[in-house]
Structure 1
Amino acid sequence: MTVPLIHAFFDEPSKTVTYLVIDPETRDAAVVDPVFDYDHASGKASVKSADAVLAKAEAENCKIRYVLETHVHADHLSGAPYIKLKTGAAVVIGERIKEVQAIFRPVFNAVDVSGSGAEFDLLVKDGEKLLLGALEIEVISTPGHTPACVSYKIADAVFVGDTLFMPDYGTARADFPGGNAADLYHSIKRLLAMPAETRLFMCHDYLPKGGRTEYTWETTVSDQRLDNIHVHDGVSAADFVSMREARDKTLSAPTFLMPSIQVNMRAGKLPPADANGVHYIKVPITL
């Protein structure tokens, strides 16, 4: 079996990991969950993180064919449009993006959003396969964190998005609109039914309080089944749902929630500029 070359890029402000995945035979490549640098306090943005990925791709003499989005992220803005602009790569997301757009389009009165997922180049469904040189990208539907979440299996590596975190941090929240803790449990169990040695790559890492002091983002099915604090072997669906729903009630909204949703449901594009040429992020106010 051909094993992909995997390079990780960690963005500390959003705790997000972007991956450059390369077929060593053909040098075709994919980028998983790229970051667009955004400072919420000032509104300033840059492409520093995306440029680092592009520089590595150039150094590796590879051609980026796809940008693989695991879901509409609520904690960072996507760098997908910039990667596409520079490489011609197709931007891919799960077909249930339509549901996410239907949920959030009225929240932000985002009348430009299609509701059909047309902002993306490829909408993929469970079991669908894309060719990446000599490798296959297999799409695995993993709803729960959001309805449109997918994981991407490439040889022995699975990029799980926000479905799982490192074993000492547990699992993703399921309280966003369209999220569901029971769906999340079943999605996780589907991933953990894979061979024990399967490598799992997280979209984020957070340092548990009182735990390790270095960020890490790669684990295995075996490690998750043995040590995941939320969903190790023996944890029932009922127990998981009870824990997850109780924990979610204590969590505050992610710092980048408002800008991330508005940008990422548009495939990483900013909302249309106003008449003055400036792009604005809306914040709905409830009185």
Structure 2
Amino acid sequence: MSGDSPCAVAAPVATSRTRVVVLRTTRGSMTNYNYVVVDVATRQAVLVDPSWQADVVVGAVVDAGARVAGILLTHSHPDHIDLAASLGERFGCPLWMSKEEIAWSGYHAPGLVAIDETPFHVGSMTIRPMLTPGHTPGCMCYRVDDDLFTGDVLFAEGCGICPDVGAALRMYDSLGRIRREIGETTRIYPGHSFGLAPGQSFATVQRENIYLQFSNRDDFAAFRTRKGQSRAKLFTFH
């Protein structure tokens, strides 16, 4: 894509059943992480939040010898849905987004399917959606085996911006749910990074992330919405 910085494609991370291909894509000063999650047994795959550099995403699918069965969308912000419609049409597959996010955002695209938290299958993979509002009202994380794809809900070093105190309180509850429902060995694959590579264990994230240290909702909300946060620093992704 003209004007884009070079992208980096990380080595795939494999378990006995799935393989996660980590894609770093850029547009201008922004950097996003997209993922190709491949079922080793059937070669079926899902994309997570594909953005900006279609040739990189398509090339990763081809290199993996995979067939894209669907696209998981964590939320509706432009940097997370940029390629969803075009790749959905290219691969002839559905786009999955929470019904809450669709209702809030008004997002629509060919093949868009509104989903709830009911688990579903792609090949032998079980996709477990987890509604985690805060950054937006319908943010969804997706658990596949022992991998959690968190979009802008949880980064290794932080969490997504919350527009107001009410949203920050919901974010606190969402992070608390993640703490309760996943194990320390679960690998976290966020939409952005401030330096730590995607795929950190949740044990590492809990140790490194200040937003997981709060035990009081109001204190968390006050800190998340504090004044003086530099917008430039907030978007200094790696």
Q: Which runs of 5+ in 2 are unaligned?
A: 1-14
CA RMSD after TM alignment: 2.5
Structure 2: distance between partners of 1:59 and 1:171? 32
Residue 199 of structure 1 is matched in structure 2 by 187
Per the TM alignment, residue 230 of structure 1 is displaced from its structure 2 partner at its CA by: 2.1
User: What does residue range 1-287 of structure 1 map to in structure 2 within 5 Å?
Assistant: 2-13=16-27, 14-36=30-52, 49-75=53-79, 78-101=82-105, 115=106, 121-126=112-117, 128-167=118-157, 170-175=158-163, 180-193=167-180, 194-207=182-195, 216-232=197-213, 234-247=214-227, 250-252=229-231
Number of residue pairs the alignment of both structures matches: 217
Output the TM-score relative to the length of structure 1.
0.69
Letter in 1 for 2:149: F
Per the TM alignment, residue 20 of structure 1 is displaced from its structure 2 partner at its CA by: 0.3
Letter in 1 for 2:37: V
Structure 2: distance between partners of 1:165 and 1:179? 20
Structure 1: distance between partners of 2:216 and 2:43? 43
Which structure carries more relative contact order (alpha carbon 8 Å, separation 6+)?
A: 1
Cα deviation 1:93-122 (Å, max 9, x = unaligned): 111124423xxxxxxxxxxxxx48576521
Task: Note if contact 1:57-1:64 (Cα within 8 Å) is conserved in structure 2.
Answer: yes
Write out the 4+ residue segments of structure 1 that deviate beyond 4 Å after TM superposition: 74-77, 115-120
Larger Rg: 1
Cα deviation 1:246-268 (Å, max 9, x = unaligned): 15x6354999xxxxxxxxxxxxx
Percent identical among aligned pairs is 24
Output the TM-score relative to the length of structure 2.
0.82
Cα deviation 1:134-173 (Å, max 9, x = unaligned): 0110110000000010001000001011011123xx1111
Change (3 A) 1:153 1:97: same
Higher strand share: 2
Per the TM alignment, residue 77 of structure 1 is displaced from its structure 2 partner at its CA by: 5.4
Letter in 2 for 1:124: I
Structure 2: distance between partners of 1:116 and 1:162? 17
Higher helix share: 2
Structure 2: distance between partners of 1:76 and 1:98? 14
Q: Which runs of 5+ in 1 are unaligned?
A: 37-48, 102-114, 208-214, 256-287
